[in-house]
Amino acid sequence: MIAYEIICILFCGSLFAGFLGSLSGLGGGLIIVPLIVLGLNVDIHYAIGASLIAVIATSSGASAAYVKEGYTNIRVGMFLETATTIGALSGVFIGLLLPAYALSLIFGFILLYCACSSFFSIDVDHLALPTDKLAAIFKLDSTCPPNSQVYHVQHVPLGYAIMFVAGALSGILGIGSGVLKVLALDRVMQLPFKVSTTTSNFMIGVTAATSAGLYLHLGYIDPLLAMPVMMGVVVGSFFGARLLPHIRTKRLKSLFGCLMIIIAVQMIYKSLGSG
């Protein structure tokens, strides 16, 4: 396969990854890593390095639009980033101690968990929730467009702990850990789903940048992989950000869940075969 064909594959795959990543808050790494590992047979550590660059690009491409539209809860994002950044630094060193097949296996099970969780949603009356004491102290409560519905952030300590784990997964797997971020924001801290996905998008860039700096230092970021990936996710995340206010959440989660199951099975099969 000649160079320009590889670049086209990476760009098109990353375009799709950026589109879904900006809509779901997962960052696109869940698509990028399997694409590079399974499609191009590249070592997973280099795939993770390119994925981290993609996650930063997705966050940058989508967050500006989401903040302008009023969906992103910036206070929550900045508060929780302290946990994810510390977790990301810890995760990088853990990931470097594990063999490639073990990383692939972990990645596959993370995908399965993500897929299963996408088929279940809990409807919450955000107006009926009480005010959390810590959320009140840090002024984390906000409103959600288009009707400026007030919501109260819940279970701040538990959400903070989950964000540390999410940061560690970012360092280990290079996925931006958006799956845990969205689940923590949506189900634990009880933010509206679109606020959860947009706030996750806002956060994942900072978390991924922490991990990417260490991967760059260790030589695991290849510009030939990272450049087309970055360009694709920026374009894809731009279109995803424009579509978010008009898309039905349940349809998106079902589509994404089916896709994750297919990729997860492939990743687990590959890891068991090489282990």
Task: Work out how many domains the chain is built from and give that number.
Answer: 1
* Tokens linked to 80: 């929780």
Question: What residues have CB less than 8 Å from 207, skipping those under 6 apart?
Answer: 55, 81, 84, 85, 87, 88, 166, 167, 170, 176, 177
Q: What is the mean pLDDT of residues 150-156?
A: 89
Q: Which of 6-10, 170-174, 211-215 has the highest mean pLDDT?
A: 6-10
Higher-scoring residue by pLDDT: 101, 140: 140
Q: What is the DSSP letter of 218?
A: T
**Average pLDDT for 90-109:** 76
Each residue's pLDDT tens digit, 154-197? 999 999 998 888 778 767 765 556 777 877 888 889 888 788 88
pLDDT band at 2 (very low <50, low <70, confident <90, very high): very low
Domain residues for 210? 3-274
Provide mean pLDDT across the span 224-241: 86
pLDDT at 3: 72
Give the start-end residues of each E strand in the chain.
Answer: 142-144, 149-151
- What is the structure's pLDDT at 75? 92
Q: How many whole angstroms separate alpha carbon 233 and alpha carbon 58?
A: 6
Question: In whole angstroms, what is the distance from residue 136 CA to residue 21 CA?
Answer: 31
d(CA 38, CA 21): 19
Q: Residue 275 pLDDT > 70, yes or no?
A: no
Would you state the pLDDT for residue 180? 74
- Has residue 72 got a pLDDT over 50? yes
**165 CB contacts (<8 Å, ≥6 apart)?**
87, 180
- With vertex at residue 144, the alpha carbon angle to CA 138 and CA 146, rounded to the nearest 5 degrees, is 160
* DSSP label at residue 42: -
Phi/psi-derived region of residue 39, left when phi > 0, alpha when psi is between -120 and 50, beta in every other case? alpha
Instruction: Give the contacts of 54 (CB within 8 A, at least 6 positions apart).
Output: 14, 17, 18, 27, 28, 29, 32, 226, 229, 230, 232, 233
Residue 80 confidence (pLDDT): 93
- For 65, how many CA atoms within 13 A lie in the half-sphere containing its CB? 18
**Contact of 76 with 189, CB cutoff 8 Å:** yes
Distance CA 265, CA 4 (A): 29
pLDDT at 158: 92
